[in-house]
Amino acid sequence: MGLDEALFEKVATATKAKEAWGILENNLKGIDKVKKVHLQTLRSEFESLHMKESESVFDYFTRVSSIVNQMKRYREKIEDVRVVEKILRSLDSKLEFVSVAIEESNDLDSMTLDQLMGSLQAYEERLKKKQEPVAQVLQTKVSLKEQEQEHGRSSSTNNEERANYVEAKEEEELLLLMATKEERDTGAWYLDTSAANHMSGNKELFSTLNEAMKGNIIFGDDTKIPIKGKGDVLIRSKNGSHLLITQVYYVPTLKSNILSLGQLLEMGYDIHLKDGCLTLRDGSHNLVAKVPMEKNRMFLLNVHMDHPRSLKTCVEEASWLWHLRLGHLNFGGLKALVSEEMVNGLPKVNHPNQLCEGCLFGKQARKSFPKEATFRATKPLQLAKSEVFGAFQKFKALVKKESGYSIKGLRTNRGGEFTSKEFQNFCENNGIRHFLTVPRSPQQNGVVKRKNRTILNMVRSMLRSKNMPKEFWAEAVACAVYLSNLSPSESVQDEKRSKLDGKSEKFVFIGYDSSSKGYKFYNPSNGKIVIRESRQDTRQDVATPPQSPHGSRSPDDCSFEGPLRTKNLADIYEETEVVDNPSFFCLFADIEPLNFEKATVDKKWKHAMDEEIKAIQKNGTWELVTLLKGQKAIGVKWVYKVKKNAQGKVEKYKARFVAKGYIQEYGIDYDEVFAPVARLETIQLIISLAAQNNWKIYQMDVKFTFLNGYLEEEVYVQQPLGYVVKGHEDKVLKLKKALYGLKQAPRAWYSHIDKYFQDHGFTKCPHEHALYVKEDKTGGFTLVCLYVDDLIFTSNNANMFEEFKKAMTQEFEMTDIGLMCYYLGIEVKQNEDGIFISQEAYAKKVLEKFEMANCKLVSTPIACGTRLSKYDESTKVDPSLYRSLVGNLRYLTCTRPDILYGVGLMSRYMEAPTSTYMKMAKRVLRYIKGTVDYGLTYSFSTNFQLYGYSDNDWGGDVDDRKSTTGFLFFLGDTAFTWCSKKQPIITLSTCEVEFVSAAACVCHAIWLRKLLEMLRIPQDEATIIYIDNKSTIALGKNPMFHDRSKHIDTGYHFIRECIERKDVKLAYVKTNVQIADIFTKALKFEDFARLRAWIGVTKGDQV
């Protein structure tokens, strides 16, 4: 036996083992009284046992068994059934369902502890498996009554709902942290540790959404709800900066927004929980969000979602500014301050026509209590009014010193602090008469109630208008009291809101309630109809007063990774700014009506519809028939469009009667749908030829284009709205010809015009199916380019030209535009010196759209030495905005090849744009601003030889080391086609990369040579392609393979065959005169300006 020194001393005098054992037993187990105390303690521990939230089934059983075994050692009789029942009633809430099932389906008297532990562990393992691979949403019972009592409210809402978060409270039911409310709170995001992904059920919040992504969310009871897409959500923080939440699941049936802390952690964010607050920081340790824990242990992040608002007029800035600075003081009070000269420097104030949204939210009230008071004080402090005893004692001492008057009477409610003996003694000792209000009649103490209401109205309005969090309520109250003392001296159901919640809601008045003296209102936010006894008619436009300076900032340089910053109260009143973002305003001039009812109000649109119907009937488009059984008629609608010229002036109002082709079925209602149009480079080649030959280019427009195509299928449509034939309302229209909106309409029109051209002597170009050529015996010819309904044509024979115009007018209803001056957003100026094309008006529109009309200028679109990487760590920006900007710049390259390389470089980073890419895109806009009137000048020339330049930037992409190919072609002195494109392969040498670039350039040259041959400009000599690498030239001529070229793909060796046929020829040019350099790299201004002039980009006044 091993004993420590203390126990050994106790048994040292024992002579027998039994005697020693008795001594040890008495010391360790105690005498009978000690045993009883120990046993009582163990019984108490057993009865108070409860499984901890983080404790596993095995650990809890071990803890229970330990106590039970100790009790048994003290000879306590405890049966297994008692232990089983105790365990089942003390399990954690997550095991509540299985415990109920075990009690109902098993005989507890015969159940062993091992069987119970096995059942519970099996269920525990299933829970773990469900929580690991999917976004888990637990389902539990909800006690909304208890939940709302924590917020000072009561409700009879249903107690069972589906939840994403669960909390357990001792001796209470499980409370729902985030219930699926009927009314969505678009600005609330719940921070969740159990959700695997960010999720939202509001489709309007997504700035980008890929609806092709599908999946399911699995609940605790194995039910599933579908995922309908994945995208990004743009939000606005408290300081007005825009943030981007990426990779958010769109779950339509989800009523709340969820931020997955696991997903944020995976993205490199740091999450810290301490002192009841969740702190979120980015990888650079910048603060992103600090979220306090709510009373129900929930972390709720409130953000603002941007919603554009239409304003007919802008508010008066100075009036709104002082309205805000003085705590949303009414404009009557402001005018009084001005007229009485009570404030130095206060300007003249005008009452705006709009209503202040902050005031509506914070102040709107029911009609006041109508009775007038029977007694009113005639002297200062003759009758004071109060609601709080402690504050009243301080107030009494203060006003006596400041005013010299003593309080003579006091009216209060019947609160315990005022009916106490202590307060009564205080009033008697100070000679104050105390008046009490009638129970449940707060109107009798209306003055103090009204003052409290005034203060809280100012607080609500100030917090609302600046989107300040409610944590600043104390500062706002202090500010409101101070402003109220300097100023010249109804609501939604109170039981459902706190003191700082809004005092009004937006409803649509729909009628009167016949069973009560009330009004019926429709709530657009939840789709419910409610009855209220009073209403405030706000038919005026509601204006949002000026926001903080960050409020109108574009979101191009902000992201979710940026820190959240909040302003102090002083900043709110020191600076304001009127929202001037043009995307938040509606221009009411020349608005296109959205439906037929609105269009019929305006005579010009009614006339446009009449013209459309006349043209359709004149064209013999349809016939009135009875719909046969088994057939279906396609729906129709009216579409309205204002057509403007290059200067933005209205040319005509067009009303189109269109079919709803989206319901057509392939193989039944339509077959072929493709219709070719002329390529822009083909049109620019014709412009170049016309300038070199001093030809004039003309333009004609086919009226009602798609109505001219004949249908091969049998198609029925409904009668047009507003033009239904009387007496035949049940009949439908059988189409003989195509109608706008039908899927086969473009194909039918192209087939018709193609047949007409070929029947009248025109030859279709096999290399450009929208280009037609007609020749006569004298050598004259006419060139026609077709772009949907636009005909662009030129000729070297005046007679052929007039014959063509006459024949087209006879066959189709045409609009003779005359000299081509504007097509597809491109302006064309033709004069004796040549032809100048530009997109000046479009460029200005782009600058205005992205708020860069007054930006600073730069001399080059891309800074020299610029290198971009897809692993850029700067803040993310709104991808929709970035893609829109790049798309707009891409179209501008039609006449501005000088920005082609920069735009192509930006196009590589569409997936996850950052502020670095956005800054580069804005630099291109700054360059455009300084060269907005630049374009391409085509002039007279006798050189009709086609030649080109090819270059590359070897390994220019720092991510995958692929290169950029750039080439362009000339016919005369100005380029008419160009390309800047990333190569599909990684090359191993400068020789190889030049060879790949040259191969792409050669392929384009072959197509151009065939096109020129069709245009009667044959290329008798080989087309020269200039490159600045002699090894590539040698490789193009040498048919032998060697170590440096044997791995090059066979397709690129097509260049050798073209050289042998003498279609092309590679020629060396020095690097400093390699014009294609402008398409492959960022250059210094001197080099850039020189190459820009060589490709023909000049100012319009130089033509």
What per-residue confidence (pLDDT) applies to 895?
94
Quote the strand ranges of 24-147, DSSP E.
Answer: 136-137, 139-141
Alpha helices in 302-387 (DSSP H): 317-325, 331-339, 357-363
Structure tokens at 1036: 């193009």
Whether 794 and 698 have beta carbons less than 8 Å apart is answered as: yes
Q: What is the pLDDT of residue 527?
A: 64
Helix H or strand E encompassing 148 = helix 144-150
Contacts of 463 (CB under 8 A, 6+ apart): 362, 469, 470, 472, 473, 476, 500
Contact between 903 and 893 (Cβ < 8 Å): yes
Q: What is the DSSP track for 779-834?
A: S-EEEEEEETTEEEEEES-HHHHHHHHHHHHHHS-EEEEEE--EETTEEEEEETTE
Query: Can you list the alpha helix ranges (DSSP code H) found in 629-733?
Result: 680-693
Provide the pLDDT for residue 535: 57
N residues, the chain:
1103
Q: What is the 3-state secondary structure (H, E, C) of 745-771?
A: HHHHHHHHHHHHHHHCCCEEECCEEEE
Rounded alpha-carbon distances, angstroms, from residue 158 to 163, 178, 702, 1046? 13, 14, 64, 76
Report which secondary-structure segment, H or E, holds 60: helix 57-73
Which parts of 878-989 fold into alpha helices (H)?
A: 879-892, 900-906, 915-930
* Residue 29 pLDDT: 58
pLDDT below 50 — which residues of the chain? 130-184, 307-316, 369-375, 382, 385, 387, 490-496, 514-516, 539-589
52 contacts 170 by C-beta, under 8 angstroms:
no
The neighbour count for residue 734, using CB atoms within 10 Å, is 19
Burial tier of 702 (Cβ tally within 10 Å: 0-12, 13-18, 19+): buried
Q: Which residue is it, tokens 């109060």?
A: 386
- Is 749 within 8 Å of 709 (Cβ atoms)? yes
How many CB atoms sit inside 10 A of residue 384's CB? 20
pLDDT computed for residue 150 by the predictor: 40
Structure tokens at 965: 């190919």
Which residues are bridge partners to 938 per DSSP? 835
Closest residue by Cα to residue 190 from 301, 267, 270: 301
Residue 736 has a CB neighbour count (10 Å cut-off) of 13
E strand or H helix that includes residue 26: helix 17-29
Q: What would the two tokens of residue 551 be?
A: 């409020």
59: Cβ contacts below 8 Å, ≥ 6 apart? none
**Can you spell out the DSSP letters for 702-730?**
ETTGGGGPBPSS--EEPPPTT-PPTT-TT
Contact 261, 192 (CB under 8 A): yes
**Model pTM score:** 0.49
Interatomic CA distance for residues 243 and 235, integer angstroms: 5
Instruction: Please tell me the predicted confidence (pLDDT) of residue 438.
Output: 65
Phi-psi region of 228 (alpha: psi -120 to 50; beta: other; left: phi over 0): alpha
Tokens 């106590």 correspond to: 67
* Closest of 1083, 1075, 1089 to residue 864, by C-alpha: 1083
What pLDDT is stored for residue 859 in this prediction?
Answer: 92
Q: How confident is the model over 47-100, as pLDDT tens digits? A: 888 888 778 888 888 898 888 888 887 778 888 888 888 888 888 877 776 777
Per-residue model confidence (pLDDT) at position 357: 65
Phi/psi region, residue 240 (left: phi>0; alpha: psi -120 to 50; beta: rest), is left
Rg (CA), the chain: 41
| Contact present, 1080 and 901 (Cβ < 8 Å) | yes
